[in-house]
Amino acid sequence: MAAVTDAEFEAQVLKSDKPVLVDFWAEWCGPCRQVAPILDELNAEHGDKLTFLKMNVDENPVTPSSYRVTGIPTINVYQGGEVVKSIVGAKPKAALLKELDGII
């Protein structure tokens, strides 16, 4: 999954023509490491319908705070510049697919 920074967020996420999933994560976060391979699989399977990006909250503090990301992992899906889905915590693949139903 490609990384996105605070500086690129508006152009890559908010102005995107298709929905964008952003995984807010950090190196030290165990649950983030659990969910990363699942998101990689979903990216491989559904990357044509949804853009998958990840943002390191330690390196990019502005965007997470502006979207009130207080716990990680937090997965937000943006469509038309708005958050249409927010998933907090590590979830198994089946649960993520259920949450993303209708988006992918």
56 given a catalytic annotation: no
Q: Determine the Cα–Cα distance for residues 71 and 53; give it in Å rounded to an integer.
A: 18
Residues whose CB falls within 8 Å of the CB of residue 68, separated by 6 or more in sequence, listed in order: none
Buried (b) or exposed (e) across 16-46, using 16+ Cβ within 10 A?
beebbbbbbbeeebeebeebbebbeebbeee
73 given a catalytic annotation: no
Joined tokens for residue 89: 């915590």
Q: Which residue in the list 32, 35, 69, 100 is annotated as catalytic?
A: 32
Q: Which residue in the list 21, 22, 29, 53 is annotated as catalytic?
A: 29
The enclosing H or E element of 43 equals: helix 30-46
Residues designated catalytic? 29, 32
